[in-house]
Structure 1
Amino acid sequence: MKKTVILQASSKSMGNTHHILEVLNEDNSFDIIDLSTKNIGHFDYDMKNAEDDFIPLMENLLSQYDSIVLATPIYWYTMSGILKVFMDRLSDLLHYRKDLGRQLRGKSLAVLSNSGDNDRRPGFTMPFEASAAYLGMHYLGDVHVWFDQDGQTIATAANEQLQTFKQSL
């Protein structure tokens, strides 16, 4: 079985994204890394962030996992800021650490998004699909999860889609 890691990319470590990941990972099939616990600076052409956690994280991901799931709440119709910074830093692997960048080829990428309602806008997944294609990764798909009126219970239809998504990983 392929090893899959989930990168939790929320500004609230124990929020809705975490709750969804607990449901998805109830059998501990996946490793989860909370990006908010990492020191990852913005992309910089002068590599001013060379000593932060990004390169060691990528070395770990690329050596241990075949599939990466990006889990993000939707903020202002798009991915979280933490995930955007992570995605921008992939540029490091194209400019300064090409040896790592080449290792993305053949890996798989999937996306889990969530919000209070079933309101993800068309085009949300384009940056992920296009990035996967550009990097030579297989895009496994995506799922959007939302909550019932109480704001704490995953909606039945969303939970069914989440379980189908899990089978695709």
Structure 2
Amino acid sequence: MFPTRHRTALAAVLVLPAALLSGCSLVHSGGSCDGSDAVRKDLAAQPVLSSPPDGATDPVNYRGEGVSTGCDNDSPGPAWVHADRVYTFTGTRQAVVDHYARTVAAQGWRRETDSRADAACWTRTADGRHLLLAVDFQLGAWTPAPDPGNGIGYEVTVGSNADGSDDGAGCAD
């Protein structure tokens, strides 16, 4: 058998990696995306995602048509679940924002005053879940960036914390 000090060293060698991995998961405190499929499906079915202004189309080079969904858990706090759709439009940004303002008011969305300058934002609560709707005109970080042709490109996103809370879910982000 091993002497006591060798057993202690062996235990440390076996336990230390597990402790370090656990410590890493404690430092990274993002929520889990596990079980978010139903929420993503519900978000993708939001009527606002398929209610663009007349004349809006899918970008010709967009990597897919229609609504895409995802879940991001790379930040502290709850995981962020979202459904997104990208459009191109030959009108102005203001025409896009005005269209969505009219469209979503009837669905119970409230315009937020802390929206970013390059986006418009609304919130509402549905079935106990805090939802955020954003119309965002900054698409340069996309790869490839959607090609708006002779118009403008914009993204419509409906998102929610995976747990449905309003914890940190704001328009100024």
Structure number with higher helix proportion: 1
Report the TM-score, using the length of structure 1 for normalisation.
0.30
Structure of larger gyration radius = 2
